Amino acid sequence: MSLQAREPGVAFAVFPFLKTSAPVRLGSFTFRSTDDSTDLSAQDSAHLAEITRMLFLKDDLRIRSASYTLLPAFDLDRPNQSIKQLEHIQAIVAYCYIAPHRTSDDPFLHFEHPSLAIFNPQPVSIYLVRPDYHVEQVSSGAVLTPDSSNNVPGYRGLYNFQHHFWVAAGSRIYPPVPDLGLNMSQNLSFDCARSFGEAPHYHLLPELLNQPLSTTADRVLTAISWYKRANSLASDHATAIVTLAVAFEALLGLPKETKTDRFTDAISLLLGRISRLDLWAQQFYNARSDIIHEGRTKLLRFMPIKTHDSTNAPLYHSLLGYGRQVFQLCVGTLLFGAHLGVRAGLPDKLVTNEERFQQICTTLDDATSTITEKFAGIAEAVDLAHQYQFVPEAGLRFETMIGAVQRSARALLSCSEPLEPDLAGPLEKLAATRKSRDWYEVLDALRAVDKLSAPLSQAAEGPKGITFRLVSLVWRYTFQHYYWLAENRRKSEQGDATS
């Protein structure tokens, strides 16, 4: 089937130098072998075959198979969620393959092996894919016939999220460095399953691909991105040390001042007071400082004996080699600690219900969201507010709670979801009642809705169920005040009648 020029649509992300024997799910994407065109349309199968023919290792050696995934339509010139998640996926895949050897600490593969190329099918200029200045064509390539705009069917691409490229039928994509070897045992599906399932400091990595990102996940992903750069074949030893130091700083959140001491303390806190670990940390950071401030360093290898004269000191393994393993152990420890905190519910326990009611108000006021998105955005806050309703809280305000429940009532009334006939009227009254000096009228309307919705709150789902649960919660917070107001009004009316 011939490829037809078309506007940007379904695109392809490819790991050219990583093969896989089976589909593997990473984040929201499933990567398959380029031999596998399952469920692809005829046109997308043709695109996949054309892209596969472009992947070369060196000279005329074409790569037999790679790993790919389909992408939704997007613009390469604009930031978008697909590109961001692919960056995270590449960082995590690279992180697993750059695992240091247990003895030598040399990485299994380097950053260039999990290089990732994005191919967006669209017309491209013939002058970009077949430049004619100071070149000669030494092989018979595909015949490209440009249209009246000098465009041909092809692909606009992005290599490792940095380098834009344009290709068409007959083009070749080579590794970013010369003589990149392909590993015989490498298998993306098997390797990811083994790393995530067996390695204790890797098994939490898939959670980093969840959205939205936590603060810890965002920091770890930033650090991992720097770590992969520190293991590039294009980096010399000094550059790798500086880049790895940046990865450590991003991971540990080191302050601008006294970094060496804080770095040593942070490493020891995460991994324990291991003998000589502090000595390595000091030497590693001294080497980093020498390179940054003087452009070079003599401290590339570990001195196991503390001495002020490094000239004749015994030298051992490379500081960088130790650094790879220490970094990965720190990542595993930090992720596990954050995981324990989440499992214990600490992030939720440290948020007040007043803050949750404020979030509900803000979400329901968002004019850019649909009604469905608004209720989806407050569902968790409502459930958590229920869970922590009996925790003493001095800062909880009537204005915030009533504001939240009235906004939810108004949103529910604007839904297409049918309401029980006897409930619509009280719900409209609750949504429309204005605040009085003592809140009595609003609370009375809330009481009426709660009385009718309480039997339905457990069975109801969607916007209706969320609103009913919110009504029930706010009523439990306020019913005592309501009856106190009612009693005061009754006494006041009796006093007026007898006077």
pLDDT in tens, 178-192: 999 999 999 999 999
Q: How is residue 414 annotated by DSSP? A: T
Tell me the pLDDT band of 137, cut-offs 50, 70 and 90: confident
The 3-state DSSP class for residue 444 equals helix
- pLDDT at position 3: 47
Cα dist from 81 to 72, 76, 85, 209, whole Å:
10, 11, 6, 12
| Residue 97 to residue 113: CA distance in whole angstroms | 8
pLDDT digits (tens, 9 = 90+) for 343-377: 899 989 999 999 999 999 999 999 999 999 999 99
pLDDT at 171 over 70: yes
Q: Domain residue spans in the chain?
A: 11-191, 212-346, 351-498
The H helix count followed by the E strand count for the chain is 16, 9
pLDDT at 465 over 60: yes
Tell me the pLDDT band of 308, cut-offs 50, 70 and 90: low
- Lowest-pLDDT range of 140-144, 286-290, 326-330, 402-406: 140-144
pLDDT at 290 over 50: yes
- pLDDT at position 176: 94
Tell me the pLDDT band of 497, cut-offs 50, 70 and 90: low
Residue 361 CA, distance from chain mean position: 26
The 3-state DSSP class for residue 394 equals coil
pLDDT at 2 over 80: no
pLDDT digits (tens, 9 = 90+) for 65-115: 999 999 987 778 877 888 999 999 999 999 999 988 877 778 899 999 999
Q: Helices (DSSP H) in 230-370: which residue ranges?
A: 237-252, 259-271, 277-294, 319-343, 346-349, 353-364
Beta bridge partner(s), residue 158: 118, 164
Average pLDDT value for residue range 117-125? 95
- pLDDT at position 172: 95
- Identify whether the C-beta of residue 478 lies closer than 8 Å to the C-beta of residue 401: yes
Q: How is residue 231 annotated by DSSP? A: T
Tell me the pLDDT band of 1, cut-offs 50, 70 and 90: very low
Question: What's the mean per-residue pLDDT of the chain?
Answer: 90
List all residues 6 or more positions away from 47 whose beta carbon is below 8 Å from its beta carbon: 3, 12, 119, 121
Give the angle 20-62-89 at the CA atoms, nearest 5°.
35
Q: Which residue has the tokens 């979801």?
A: 417
- pLDDT at position 451: 92
- pLDDT at position 75: 78
- Identify whether the C-beta of residue 250 lies closer than 8 Å to the C-beta of residue 222: yes
- pLDDT at position 5: 39
| Residue 98 to residue 400: CA distance in whole angstroms | 51
Which has the closest alpha carbon to 124: 269, 210, 5, 22? 5
- pLDDT at position 456: 73
DSSP string, 160-205: TTTEEEEEETT--B--SSTTPPPPSS--HHHHHHHHHHH-TTTTTG
| Residue 385 to residue 382: CA distance in whole angstroms | 5
pLDDT at 210 over 90: no
List all residues 6 or more positions away from 416 whose beta carbon is below 8 Å from its beta carbon: none
- pLDDT at position 4: 45
- Lowest-pLDDT range of 249-258, 357-366, 395-404: 249-258
Measured on CA atoms in the order 304, 305, 310, 312, is the torsion positive or negative? negative
